[in-house]
């Protein structure tokens, strides 16, 4: 099985749009599994037209622990406040005990180690849920969703990918298509890790270009082969040429160029991948899919 | 104008957060002293849109452990307490440290019974300062392949806070999503403006950010970008559900997009109206 991950750095340049159409096309030629690894704001399911009823029961998962005070045991030494590298523990003068801010606690356990009275413990928290949806295009999609105000997106991505791997074995899938989050931080690093090929989507704007350069540094760090897709390439032909010459200089293959068209918005509103919404766009996406497959074999 | 802190957020990426933040800042700067704080340390773009020259104000570091092999007894306790598997201990050998995995919690330094682990540091990001178009900018930038973007955001925020007396208004431009960086950027703001688009994706992510703002007890308003592309009812429904008024509707315009792709901030009537609204708002209490 080959893992293909779609990244962009900048948000909203068309990751889920590309992922949904590639998934539909690749599923016509073989078995695939799709994973939405943007656990902060998962959109791949919506792009593939999945409604709540199309998911099996969402399972709550635990990837984090948080420190918790055991009432009555604190001796007031404040060592926990001092040791916390994440400023998650404040001292409550009125109550003469520490107050742990769950939003910033990383569950590292340093406070437990330093507490002379064993007044703290780590408690597992359910910080996300994971569900499997059956798309109308015949392939399954795994989605993770971070719970409100919780942290640990990176670890949730690993769990979602593991779940997708189990699904891929069961379904005998040849391809796992991973839709990553915006940015270059831990959830994106977790999405890229272990991939066979990365597709970086960009658009011809200075912001997207700067963010592309940053996300490629992460991809290169992991030495994973990658290619480029330029979305809305006709919005700024001059800048598109700049992106292309950057690609040529760095020997990055341009897998395809997608034009700007209002129909992409209409397809999004209809929650339908663009290749299904208007078959006129099939050629562009089929070309991208072919080039990706060629690079992996 | 009373000092006002406004966060521009939205959940989904690419809905126009930075476009709205930079153009609103530039518009407000005509009559006010404005600081724009770019809190998207993963991918900071505000200085690019405003064509501002930035200079490094600070290097952000995190603690990493350092072993003194003369004192290390290879007991493996450091590896046992590390929740991130950043310390690998093979029997009868010195621990192997994986710096990329370390979040600097310091648990290993406490667990070591012989005091063999000291504290060193590594660079994880920068805080930059600059200005253009009458707008001062502070931004955080994560070094690629580092994990702790929230540290970089916090360091940049500390600098913004230190400078706050110089300004009438601080506009914070958050990253996409709802994770810890976004939460640290949102905290302490008087108002959050959620920028969204009238698509099911925009609506879905807007609802997530609305829920988060409710938890954080930050009042919110909505700006509907590309308001004529898609179905505005999707957003109006969430606006009603969370009693968060849609205060501006910015229609799609190819010239806006072309300006944007050339790095020019947008200037239009709706942004001017939004700036007036902010000025009026900061005159009274929310």
Give the helix ranges, DSSP H, for chain B: 17-28, 46-49, 77-81, 107-111, 149-162, 180-186, 200-216, 233-241, 254-261, 269-283
Q: Are residues B232 and B274 in the same domain?
A: yes
CATH number at residue B101: 3.30.70.20
> Which of B142, B128, B137, B139 lies closest to B58, judged by CA?
B128
Q: Are residues B185 and B263 in the same domain?
A: yes
Q: Is residue B8 part of a domain?
A: yes
Note whether B13 contacts A11, CB cutoff 8 Å: yes
Note whether B83 contacts A108, CB cutoff 8 Å: yes
Mean pLDDT for the stretch of residues A289-297: 92
Say how many CA atoms lie within 13 Å of B123 toward its Cβ: 8
Q: Are residues B87 and B180 in the same domain?
A: no
Summary mean pLDDT of chain A: 95
Mean pLDDT for the stretch of residues B185-211: 96
Question: How confident is the model over A70-126, as pLDDT tens digits?
Answer: 999 999 999 999 999 999 999 999 999 999 998 889 999 999 999 999 999 999 999
- Using a CB-CB cut-off of 8 Å, the residues of chain B touching A185 are 42, 142, 147, 149, 181
A104 alpha-carbon distance from chain centroid:
21
Q: Is residue B122 part of a domain?
A: no
CATH number at residue B216: 3.40.50.300
CATH of A64-125, one of 3.40.50.2300, 3.30.70.20, 3.40.366.10, 1.10.3720.10: 3.30.70.20
Q: Are residues B149 and B266 in the same domain?
A: yes
> Could you tell me the two tokens for B17?
């957060």
pTM above 0.90, yes or no: yes
Domain with B83, as residue range(s), is 69-115
Note whether A12 contacts B176, CB cutoff 8 Å: yes
Q: Is residue B236 part of a domain?
A: yes
Q: Is residue B135 part of a domain?
A: no
Looking at residue B261, its pLDDT comes to: 62
How many domains is chain B partitioned into structurally? 2
CATH of A2-61+127-296, one of 2.30.38.10, 3.40.50.300, 1.10.357.10, 3.30.70.20: 3.40.50.300
Note whether B201 contacts A214, CB cutoff 8 Å: no
- DSSP string computed for A110-150: HHHHH-TT--EEEEEE--EEEEEEE-TTS-EEEEEEEPTT-
Q: Are residues B162 and B252 in the same domain?
A: yes
Query: What Å distances lie between residue A138 and A28, A171, A173, B37, CA to CA?
Result: 9, 11, 12, 45
Q: Are residues B81 and B47 in the same domain?
A: no
Count chain A–chain B contacts defined by CB atoms under 8 A. Answer: 179
Looking at residue B1, its pLDDT comes to: 62
Interface test with B, best of A84, A151, A185, A259 (most B CBs within 10 A): A185
Q: Is residue B121 part of a domain?
A: no
Q: Is residue B206 part of a domain?
A: yes
Q: Are residues B188 and B48 in the same domain?
A: yes
Q: Are residues B275 and B154 in the same domain?
A: yes
DSSP A252: -
Question: How confident is the model over B163-174, as pLDDT tens digits?
Answer: 999 999 999 999
Query: CB count, 10 Å around CB of B209?
Result: 31
> Could you tell me the two tokens for B63?
């603690």
Measure the CA–CA gap between A112 and A148, rounded to whole angstroms. Answer: 26
Task: Give, in degrees to the nearest 5, the angle at Cα B259 between B255 and B262.
Answer: 140
Q: Are residues B258 and B176 in the same domain?
A: yes
* Residue of chain B whose Cα is closest to the Cα of A49: B200
This model of the complex carries an ipTM of 0.92
- Residue range(s) of every CATH 3.30.70.20 domain in chain A: 64-125
Interface test with B, best of A40, A81, A88 (most B CBs within 10 A): A40
Q: Is residue B79 part of a domain?
A: yes
- Report helix, strand or coil for B122: strand
Summary mean pLDDT of chain B: 92
Query: What Å distances lie between residue A278 and A30, A272, A283, B86, B279, CA to CA?
Result: 22, 10, 11, 49, 46
Confidence band for B256, pLDDT divided at 50, 70 and 90: low
> Which of A259, A184, A208, A179 lies closest to A5, judged by CA?
A179
**Domain end call among B78, B100, B115:** B115
């Amino acid at each position: 099985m080959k893992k293909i991950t779609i990244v962009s750095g900048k948000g909203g340049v068309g990751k889920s749009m590309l992922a949904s159409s590639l998934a539909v096309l690749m599923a016509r030629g073989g078995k695939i599994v799709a994973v939405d690894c943007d656990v902060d704001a998962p959109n791949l399911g919506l792009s593939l037209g999945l409604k709540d009823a199309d998911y099996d029961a969402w399972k709550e998962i635990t990837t984090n622990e948080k420190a918790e005070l055991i009432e009555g045991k604190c001796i007031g030494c404040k060592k926990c406040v001092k040791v916390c590298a994440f400023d998650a523990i404040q001292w409550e003068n009125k109550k003469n005990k520490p107050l742990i801010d769950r939003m910033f606690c990383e569950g590292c356990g340093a406070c437990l180690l330093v507490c002379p009275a064993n007044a703290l413990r780590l408690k597992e928290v359910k910080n996300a849920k994971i569900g499997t949806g059956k798309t109308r295009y015949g392939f399954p999609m795994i989605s993770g969703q971070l719970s409100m105000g919780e942290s640990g997106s990176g670890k949730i991505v690993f769990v979602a990918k593991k779940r997708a791997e189990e699904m891929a074995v069961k379904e005998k899938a040849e391809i796992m298509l991973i839709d990553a989050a915006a940015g270059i931080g831990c959830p994106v690093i977790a999405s890229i890790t272990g991939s066979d090929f990365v597709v970086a989507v960009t658009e011809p704007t200075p912001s997207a270009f700067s963010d592309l350069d940053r996300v490629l540094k992460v991809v290169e760090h992991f030495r994973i082969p990658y290619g480029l897709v330029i979305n809305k390439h006709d919005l700024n032909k001059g800048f598109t040429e700049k992106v292309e010459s950057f690609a040529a200089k760095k020997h990055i293959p341009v897998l395809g160029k997608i034009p700007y068209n209002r129909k992409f918005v209409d397809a999004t509103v209809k929650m339908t991948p663009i290749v299904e919404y208007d078959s006129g766009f099939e050629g562009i996406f089929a070309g991208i899919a072919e080039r990706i497959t060629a690079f992996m074999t | 104008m009373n000092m006002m802190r406004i966060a521009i957020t939205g959940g989904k990426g690419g809905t126009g957060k930075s476009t709205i933040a930079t153009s609103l800042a530039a518009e407000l700067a005509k009559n006010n002293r404005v600081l724009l704080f770019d809190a998207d340390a993963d991918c900071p773009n505000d200085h690019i849109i405003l064509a501002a020259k930035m200079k490094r104000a600070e290097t952000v570091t995190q603690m990493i452990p350092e072993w003194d092999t003369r004192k290390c007894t290879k007991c493996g306790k450091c590896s046992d307490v590390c929740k991130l598997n950043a310390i690998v201990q093979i029997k009868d050998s010195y621990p192997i440290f994986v710096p990329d995995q370390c979040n600097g919690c310091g648990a290993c330094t406490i667990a070591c019974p012989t005091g063999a682990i000291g504290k060193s540091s590594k660079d994880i990001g920068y805080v930059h300062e600059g200005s253009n178009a009458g707008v001062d900018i502070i931004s955080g930038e994560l070094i690629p392949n580092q994990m702790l973007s929230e540290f970089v955001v916090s360091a940049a925020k500390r600098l913004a806070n230190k400078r706050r007396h110089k300004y009438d208004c601080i506009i914070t431009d958050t990253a996409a999503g709802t994770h810890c960086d976004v939460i640290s950027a949102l905290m302490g703001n008087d108002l959050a403006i959620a920028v969204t688009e009238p698509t099911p994706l925009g609506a879905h992510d807007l609802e997530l950010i609305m829920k988060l703002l409710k938890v954080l007890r930050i009042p919110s308003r909505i700006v509907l970008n590309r308001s004529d592309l898609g179905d505005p009812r999707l957003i109006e429904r969430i606006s009603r559900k969370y009693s968060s008024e849609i205060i501006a509707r910015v229609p799609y315009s190819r010239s806006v997009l072309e300006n944007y792709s050339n790095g020019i901030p947008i200037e239009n009537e709706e942004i001017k109206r939004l700036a007036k609204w902010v000025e009026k708002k900061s005159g009274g209490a929310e």
